[in-house]
């Protein structure tokens, strides 16, 4: 008899309670927070790696320019004026 009453009551009360829904929302929020911090860490690492590669490529290009022209950009002057000539 008690089991029958419990079954009838459970059939009448369908759905979730507000506490259960709040627990689900909190768990989802925690998972989103963890995922977001992990994602931003990965993105920051990617940007840092890309910047380091760009600097290395720029250094290689400057060295190639120096080998071809004998000086770095801004140091080469075709016909220096008297004010730009080194003394001596």
Q: What is the pLDDT of residue 76?
A: 75
Euclidean distance between the first and the last CA atom of the chain, given in angstroms as a whole number: 116
Q: What is the pLDDT of residue 87?
A: 57
Q: What is the pLDDT of residue 9?
A: 63
Contact 73, 65 (CB under 8 A): yes
> What's the CA gap between 2 and 6, in Å, rounded?
6
| Residuewise pLDDT in 10s, the chain (88 residues) | 666 666 666 666 677 889 999 999 999 999 999 999 999 999 999 999 999 999 999 999 999 999 988 888 888 766 555 555 555 4
């Amino acid at each position: 008899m008690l089991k029958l009453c419990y079954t009838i009551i459970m059939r009448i009360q369908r759905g979730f309670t507000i506490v259960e829904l709040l627990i689900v929302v909190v768990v989802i929020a925690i998972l989103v927070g963890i995922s977001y911090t992990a994602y931003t860490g990965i993105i920051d690492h990617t940007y840092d790696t890309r910047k380091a590669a760009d600097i290395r490529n720029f250094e290689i290009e400057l060295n190639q320019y120096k080998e071809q022209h004998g000086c770095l950009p801004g140091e080469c002057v075709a016909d220096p004026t008297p004010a730009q000539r080194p003394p001596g």
